[in-house]
Amino acid sequence: MAGTDQPTAAARPEPLARLAAFFEALTPQSLDDIDRIYAETAQFKDPFNAVQGCGAIRRIFDHMFATTEAPRFVVRTALGDARQGFLTWDFHFRSKGRGARDWIIHGASRVEFGPDGRVLLHRDYWDAAGELYEKLPLIGAVLRALRRRLRV
């Protein structure tokens, strides 16, 4: 990406480059290859889920495709080595149903790789309140008021 100091995809350690490429090209069909990216006993955690195993991880992404329109990840930064890494990303999607709108969630992932280069641990970090809940009509007003009240 222009203007960033991150290594090019070719300069990233192979497991990290493979993971970043997987997320940027993620489709319902590419989920058939999830076991090439994640170890069978991999652990995945985000603000809504804590699961273990390729099947459970795949169900999270299947759910994402079922409940959003045109979901896609843009990896902004990928740093690490063959054992562990850190990605920052933007998740773009369109909500479904009445009042559908475009969303962007900014987040980060910490990953650990096994000796075979597959992900053993994947932990997503993003602000569910600030990136999602505060933008919803009813609960958003309450959360924004609470944030203002707690702000220094």
pLDDT digits (tens, 9 = 90+) for 17-36: 999 999 999 999 999 999 99
Q: What is the pLDDT of residue 134?
A: 57
CATH number of 9-126, picked from 3.40.50.300, 3.80.10.10, 1.10.357.10, 3.10.450.50: 3.10.450.50
Q: What's this model's pTM, rounded to 2 decimal places? A: 0.80
Q: How deeply is 83 buried, as exposed, middle or buried, from its count of CB atoms within 10 A (0-12, 13-18, 19+)?
A: middle
pLDDT digits (tens, 9 = 90+) for 63-80: 999 999 999 999 999 999
Q: What is the pLDDT of residue 149?
A: 77
Sorted by where each begins, the domain ranges of the chain are: 9-126
Determine contact, residues 129/143, Cβ cutoff 8 Å.
yes
Q: What is the pLDDT of residue 132?
A: 63
Q: What is the pLDDT of residue 2?
A: 42
Identify each DSSP E strand in 46-139 by its residue range.
50-52, 68-80, 84-95, 102-113, 119-125
Residue ranges in the chain modelled with pLDDT below 70: 1-12, 129-144, 146-147
